[in-house]
Every structure is written in structure tokens, then in C-alpha cells.
Amino acid sequence: MNSVIDLYLKHHHMQLPREVIVGNGALERVPEISRKLGFRKSALIIAGKKTYDIAGKTVKELLEDDKMEVNTLLVETATIMDVGAAEEKIRTLKPQVVFGVGGGTKIDVAKCSSAHQETPFISIPTTASHDGIASPLSSIKGLDKPFSVMSQAPIAIIADTNIIMQAPWRFIISGCGDVIAKLTAVRDWKLAHEERNEYYGTYAASLALMSAKLVMENAGLIKQESEEGVRVLLEALISCGVAMSIAGSSRPCSGSEHMFSHALEMVRPNQSMHGERCGIGTIMMASLHKARWKHVRTTLERLGAPTTASDLDARKEDVVEALRMAATIRPERYTILSKLSLGVADCERLAKATGTI
């Protein structure tokens, strides 16, 4: 073992959230949490136009009632330009804390820009469609990588189920797909450990795996569109975020199924949601891992999640092409796809055998 790795193992750094609030009306606790963390003077809220109306405005009013100076930055995308604009705003206003209010992109911009400017970040998700709401990674467009990069963990996560349940149900289903994906992500990680001697953290892996199992076991409850079901999902998503914080990378939560998801988005952009594609990817990658892929498919069907190309408005050849491309998305990340190096005919056979095409 060389000394750099040795040093890294000695100094494994975990940055974790300190306050996590999940439940109906959680938004009202924003001033209390903010005060508790020592942010009593100033804040910057980063939100989208829609998410500002849904939650950002309330956050602003609640903090202002608490005598804080609050500024707002509205963003619609998560490009390098957006992050640059947010950083400029943070440099000028010097807020004590940055709130990211939204689904994916707004939280990503808030997380990434606040990390660069060494300012704490609080995550206020308005949807539960993926684990980025609690992870230390952000997905930014224009970095010439379709996947996420390390930035910082939120210091607090305030997830109001009342707000999250108002989003289209498809977002919840997508969130379930992103959690179920951990079944194969963890298997890929373990494989990389066994065959490439990559660092593997049992604790982080178990946490991610347990989240996937909990969502699968509670599929019936989630399907009922109950608050209780949404809570199970939110807690699982937050645990997945924490698993990444513990691992110090996205390894426990993102494997070959995520590569398939990223590839399909490149082949057929803007047709489907991240977690929906991950769910379908998990069916196929579970089959490659010789895991219980039929159980994955049945659970997704039970949730009402997409399980076939046509469910995603994709063509059969798109799925085959995405499978072929998947291994090239992140060549440095060793997965079952690196091990098997599938040809086009293998990809087609896999998709057919698992019923995704």
C-alpha cells in the first residue's frame, strides 16, 4: 500500500448533516434550526421561480420575522454559469448560511456554490425524486461529466412532507427507483473491492443497502400515497446521502445502474426522470450480478414505476445503445459492466431477458 492511500485511510473524512427534520409542517422549524446552528443574522436563499412560490417565500418570511437579513437568488438550471453567479452573490452579500430550496438543480447550485465559498448550506427539498437532497455531491452541467462531483454535505436538511406530497407522484416513484438502485451500486462497489482492491466501507454499504431494502419492503405503503410512505422514502434518501458522506464518494449509491441511467439520458434526453431510469438499470444490473432481479422488477411494478423502454417513451434500440454506452460513462469506476464488457448482442439479450425491451 502506498503512503498516500495509507494517509487517506488514516484520515478518512466524513462530513455529516447536524440537524435533520422530516415531517408535516417541518418548514416552520426553519428559524429555530437556523438559530440553533448559530445563523441569526443573514441568509441567502437559492430557489427556482416555482420552488420560491412553493417554499422559498415562506422560508424568507419566517427568517425575516426572526430579524434576519434575507436575500434571494432565483436560478432555473444548474450550469457552471449558474454556480458562478451564485458564488458572486455569496462573495458580495457574505451570508452566514445558504438555503437551497427546490428539487434537484436549485439544491445542486446552492450546495456547489456554498462549498466553493466555504459557507454552510441547508437543504430544503420540495421533491423526493433523488438522493441529491442529502448527499455531499452536486450534479453540474458543463463540467463535461454527466455524473456528480464532491462539494459539501448539508449542515441541515428540512424536509416538509406536506410540500413534497404536493409534487406530482411521479417524483416519489423516481425517488424510490434511486433508492432501490443501491442494491446493485453496493454490489458493484464490493466487486471493485474484491477485484481491484478499491476501498470499501462496510458501514456505508450497509446503510445504503438497508435503505433500499426498507423502500422495497414498504412499497405497498408508499403506493398508497400516504404521508407515512413518503416519510419512509425521505428517510431512505437521507440515509443514502449520509452513506455517501461516510464513504467520501458516491460509491455506495451509484454503480452500473446509474451509468445506464446517465447513458440513457444522453441517448434520449429529457424524456424520463433520473430515478426512473435507475430503477430499470437496477433490474438489468441485478440480473448481471445474479441477484434477485425479478424481485426488483416486481417491486417497481408494484410501486407503479416504469420497468420497460416504452414506459419511459424510449425505443428498444435506445435501451440497447445506453447499455452499450454505460461502461464508457465512467471508465475509472469498476463495475459489473467493466468485468463483463458486453457486446451489442449481449446488451440486447440482457434487455430482452429482463423484459425491459
Measured in degrees and rounded to the nearest 5, phi and psi for residue 303 equal -75, -15
Interacting stretch for Zn ion, rule CB under 5 A, among 73-81, 106-114, 126-134, 210-218? 126-134
Decide whether 87 or 178 has the Cβ nearer to Zn ion: 178
Decide: 289 and 186 in contact? Cβ < 8 Å.
no
Q: 121: Cβ–Cβ under 8 A, 6 or more apart, which residues?
A: 97, 98, 99, 100, 110, 111, 114, 115, 152, 154, 155
Interacting stretch for Zn ion, rule CB under 5 A, among 3-11, 130-138, 153-161, 318-326? 130-138
Q: How far is the CB of 28 from Zn ion (least distance, A)?
A: 29
Cα gap 278→265, rounded to integer Å: 11
Q: How far is the CB of 163 from Zn ion (least distance, A)?
A: 21
3-state secondary structure (DSSP) of residue 349: helix
Q: How far is the CB of 139 from Zn ion (least distance, A)?
A: 9
Decide whether 164 or 253 has the Cβ nearer to Zn ion: 253
Q: How far is the CB of 254 from Zn ion (least distance, A)?
A: 6
Three cell numbers written together for 107: 439544491
Interacting stretch for Zn ion, rule CB under 5 A, among 11-19, 42-50, 107-115, 123-131? 123-131
Helices within 200-292 (DSSP H only): 202-217, 219-223, 227-247, 256-267, 274-288
Q: How many Cβ atoms are within 10 Å of 324's Cβ, its own excluded?
A: 18
Q: How far is the CB of 66 from Zn ion (least distance, A)?
A: 34
Query: In degrees, to the nearest 5, what angle opens at C-alpha 223 toward C-alphas 221 and 225?
Result: 85
Residues recorded for the chain: 357
Decide whether 161 or 184 has the Cβ nearer to Zn ion: 184
Considering the rule CB under 5 A, would residue 257 count as an interface residue with Zn ion? no
Decide whether 62 or 208 has the Cβ nearer to Zn ion: 208
Q: How far is the CB of 258 from Zn ion (least distance, A)?
A: 6
Three cell numbers written together for 113: 456554490
- Total residues contacting Zn ion by CB under 5 A comes to 2
Decide whether 178 or 188 has the Cβ nearer to Zn ion: 178
Decide whether 130 or 333 has the Cβ nearer to Zn ion: 130
Question: Which of 241, 72, 60 shows the shortest CA–CA distance to 156?
Answer: 241
| Residues 317-336 within binding reach of Zn ion (CB under 5 A) | none
Rg, the chain, Cα only:
20
Decide whether 70 or 153 has the Cβ nearer to Zn ion: 153
Considering the rule CB under 5 A, would residue 178 count as an interface residue with Zn ion? yes
Interacting stretch for Zn ion, rule CB under 5 A, among 17-25, 50-58, 127-135, 331-339? 127-135
DSSP-assigned beta bridge partners for residue 125: 102
Q: How far is the CB of 282 from Zn ion (least distance, A)?
A: 11
Q: 199: Cβ–Cβ under 8 A, 6 or more apart, which residues?
A: 5, 8, 9, 193
Residue whose beta carbon is closest to Zn ion: 178
Considering the rule CB under 5 A, would residue 82 count as an interface residue with Zn ion? no
Cα gap 198→53, rounded to integer Å: 45
3-state secondary structure (DSSP) of residue 74: strand
Decide whether 56 or 241 has the Cβ nearer to Zn ion: 241
Residues lying near Zn ion in the complex (CB under 5 A)? 130, 178
